[in-house]
A and B are shown apart, each in its own frame.
Chain A
């Protein structure tokens, strides 16, 4: 196995199978009391392939966006990249240290203060005691939580959970930072702060993998993968993949198309009264590649 130093992660023909039980979970009672039923149930389990034959290589320092509809396997792919879930078929080679921000509040204790949680979470993500102590002021500063940092987490809003979680993940200096579509919870200012921080991490050579439904976040990403029904169906430059995806959505879904046309109408056929405002919105909302 020649491990190229520039490669951060390599997946070769990775498929991931989950089993769906049609009626009920397998349980011990059935195993003991009704072995026949247990065996039948075991046989009747439906395989569900969350990832199908995914091969991809992510280089060190690359930033990759992942888009796709709900249930396409995006989170499963992140879990495989993080080494949390092993592929059913294929090979996953992770050469770098990962920090994953896949969920709001994973590992955060609602009764403990933000400060306690930030410290424990930093250790969970692999920092040593000394490193974590050293990073704490930066983390607290970045979170912008102010006096709330010494309040129990149960008093936090989901935006505040995100602020704390992201502040920790961003400061543990991972070699790969995996982020699941949660930044959308933050307010505009914090989202901007996150994006700026991505740029900074990228400049320092951190590999970033970002799952999102918000195409704005993909502006500065090197590469975007489109995941559909467990397969990587598109892989390329950010604008190109996003554009192709939007066009595809318009073709496939009449509802999206109707929405889109309604939006276009508002933008291009403004009434005199709010024309100024509409045109201004148009500049911000319409994806640039469309013109």
Chain B
């Protein structure tokens, strides 16, 4: 057994490493943002363009050509799509990027001793900052569609942000750890993400899913979240109770992610 006496956690050490961890996280995120925005002047535009372009084409194909019906009180299919697409892109980009973060930084993990969860966390934080920067654009679209801003937003947005962030941290850490040991995970995950896009209430509302399929959708941790975002922006309300599957799954993924990481961590330098 390897014992590293000085690394045995005591309160002072832990506090110091936590604050260094924060600093590191902030520094990496800032560096990555700077790299991105140095590269192309329009990168902010590119970032917003992804959900907007997909939203536009889905609106054309589903809303105009196939003429999807959303029930009686459903107003704007365009806003309906966008309000789920923005958080979906945050989720999928953050998860895909964080899942590969240990493998992509093999050199670093083999050579430098540092708090390793920084890597998936920084991938998620980077995407979170991007999402926060694009959120105003979504709000502008919502307002342009004639929907009145609601006071619930002040509570709902931070709540959904926090819940989705925690879910992504748990899932990202779990997948990043598994990715180190199973090289097949990367390509598999891309397929899963594609399937999840259609198995989530993005282009259709959760209500119109037949009851027999409902459990499958609720096993998908983002489904209730996307419904939540949409309800918040379209109706100005948030039914906290319908989020319970997400909350449970977030807790489960956080526990699994932490557990997997702590078991796998010591083999990283050997396996990578």
Contacts and interface: CB of A to CB of B under 8 A. Distances in A.
Interface of A: 1, 3, 18, 25, 27-29, 79, 82-87, 91-98, 100, 102-103, 105-107, 109, 111-112, 116-117, 119-120, 123-129, 132
Contact of A128 (B6, B20, B105): B20
Across chains A and B, which 7 residue pairs bring their CB atoms closest together, nearest first? A106-B111, A86-B2, A129-B23, A102-B111, A107-B108, A85-B269, A123-B24
Given A109-B31, A112-B35, A116-B31, A96 B6 contact: yes
Contacts of B50: none
A120 B24 contact: yes
Contacts of A1: 3, 5
Contact of B110 (A84, A93, A112): A84
A126 B20 contact: yes
A102 B2 contact: no
Interface in B101-135: 105, 107-114
Interface in B171-199: 182-184
A117 to B, nearest CB: 8
Chain B's interface size range is: 35 or more
Contacts of A125: 112, 114
A14 to B, nearest CB: 9
B107 A87 contact: no
Interface in B1-19: 1-7, 16, 19
Contact of B31 (A86, A96, A102, A112): A112
B39 interface: yes
A92 B7 CA distance: 12
A117 B27 CA distance: 10
Interface of B: 1-7, 16, 19-20, 23-24, 26-28, 31-32, 34-35, 38-39, 105, 107-114, 182-184, 266, 269-270
A35 to B, nearest CB: 16
B3 A91 contact: yes
Given A84-B110, A107-B111, 4 more contacts: A28-B184, A86-B266, A106-B112, A120-B27
Contacts of A97: 6
Nearest to A8: B6
Given A91-B1, A116-B31, A103 B107 contact: yes
A95 B4 CA distance: 7
Contact of A109 (B35, B110, B270): B35
Interface centre among B23, B39, B108 (most CB of A within 10 A): B23
A264 B199 CA distance: 76
B235 to A, nearest CB: 43
A103 B111 contact: yes
Given A18-B270, A28-B182, A106-B111, A123 B35 contact: no
